[in-house]
Structure 1
Amino acid sequence: MTLLSCIIIQILWAFSAKGQAPACEEPPAIDFGGIVSDDKSEYRESDKVQYKCNPGYSLMETEWITCTGKTWTPAPQCLAPCSLTKQQLEIKNLLLSNGRRHAQLIQSDHTLEFMCSEGYTLTTPSVRKCVNGHMDLPSCISEIGKNCSRPPTIENGDITTFLEKGYTSGSFVEFKCQKFYAMEGQNRSFCDNGNWTKASLCLEPCAISVEEMENHMVELNGRTKENILQWVYLKRGDFLELRCKPGYALATNLSQSTFMVQCNGNSVVYPECKEIVCDPPGVVNGRFRPQRNMYRDGDVLIITCNHGFHINNEQDTAECTKNGWLPPPGCSRM
């Protein structure tokens, strides 16, 4: 047997059923966890491996990954727990919901409820979530301290609680924003030893005029110009569903009929709505009318075939649409 024959046999064996080349390299390692399925010397297409996190850590995404197309599907992540000590609770004048203080280990994405020690008032939400090793603890203020005078006011908002001559430490006032304004922060301000905690803000809405929408060739989805006022107000963070005006379509995605815009404190950004136009079709072995240089959405042609030819699609008309002429005009030999 020649040297060339030996090489060919070795290559064929390498790619035979028993000697097939590996599809994927070693599966990726993850922090604070590892692979618990059986190890393999080689990984082939559709092979799977299973991960498990260290005690206290939470697995994010699926525990299995698969060898697909010579690469592994994304590996999971092990999220860290939150550790809470008795000293942390004492410093913040906090108690657990059972009225006691003791060390806690909270898994990521799990919540814990708190309360304040006697003589203190909770100024922030009592339930907190652990997010990958981090948890913001609530705040408590003392009910013993200097009184506060007149509470703060907020622009574009009002105080909804009854006004008093004086406010003891730990007491609060509530705010409400005017119509269409969105509140940023808590709706309460607390008297803290003679000073008021930071008041909330009322964020301005986005005001969208009918004229502005017409300039961008858009309109409200599901509503006509006749049943809206000259202005549409959108709260900060809210979305509004729009569509291109009849005869226009989204320049970036012809198949999409509607789109969303968001009020985020800046000018509303509209996608481009492009007029739907069609060029004159090339009808071989036939003619069409009316003859124009350009056609718009909804325009219809009448097709006439030459002698010995018949209309394609058994329809002698074609309409200009965002997808071109439908049905495509043409004539075929009989």
Structure 2
Amino acid sequence: MCLKTLGFVLVLFPGLLQAQGCDPPRLVHGNFLPRQETYSDRTTITYSCDNGYKPVVEGWWATSTCERGKWSHEPQCIDESSCLPPTIPNGKYPENSNGWYEAGSILTITCNGGFEHQNQITTTTCGNGKWSSAPVCERSMSACSAPPKIPHAVIIHGYQEVFAAGSEVQYECEDGYTAEGAHNKKSVCTQGSWTAVPTCTNFCAVNTDDNPEYISVGTVYIENGEEKRVECVKPHSWSLEQYSKVRCINGRVEATKCRNKVEHAAASVFDSD
């Protein structure tokens, strides 16, 4: 049984290694070196094209590398009148699956959020291997820069340098801090500026539901250094203190206890001694 299992592993292992290599590219109207039956992983070939053709990447020659069974780009030689994908800063367009565009192709450019077309030009045309004057996407006057940084907070949004008008971002305070009694707050890009942003401050959270001395009102948030009154439960025996003073000191709660007549009398006797 052991010998059969070992033989099975030995047969599979070379196949796994071979699967990581690449077959020779099918390059039409061009030549490449070195020529081999198979190429191991990380092997690089160089290729050039016949007259009237050019590589599918910039330059009159190109390289491609075998990476886990595939070439880093499929070596191709295309007609010199065709165009490579244009570079449109802050703009996008439909991508062609073969990585290039035939002569006469027309692309419609869409500007990214926060940018708009300059001079209302929105298309570019491929001719003689070059694109006509490409549209320019310039920053909109109503767009906003990156939202302001707030100490002890993060923004629940991917980073970007420019935001379109109407964009919203949400701030969330780190643990132990709060924004006006809440954990997050939104800011909106309006006419080039962000609406008011929160300030995250250190706070204490007093849960009255878990404290039998207090009338239940849920969680009370108290900023660092602030003092609040929390109403005490008032059955017949509770008559001296109607409120407890609760103070927040660096995230720690200090409070005066609710007291009844018996506790107060005992404390008075003790103090008089």
TM-score interval, normalised by the smaller of the two chains: 0.3 to 0.5
Q: Which has the higher helix share?
A: 2
Give the structure, 1 or 2, with the largest relative contact order (CA under 8 Å, sep 6 or more): 2
Structure-2-length-normalised TM-score? 0.39
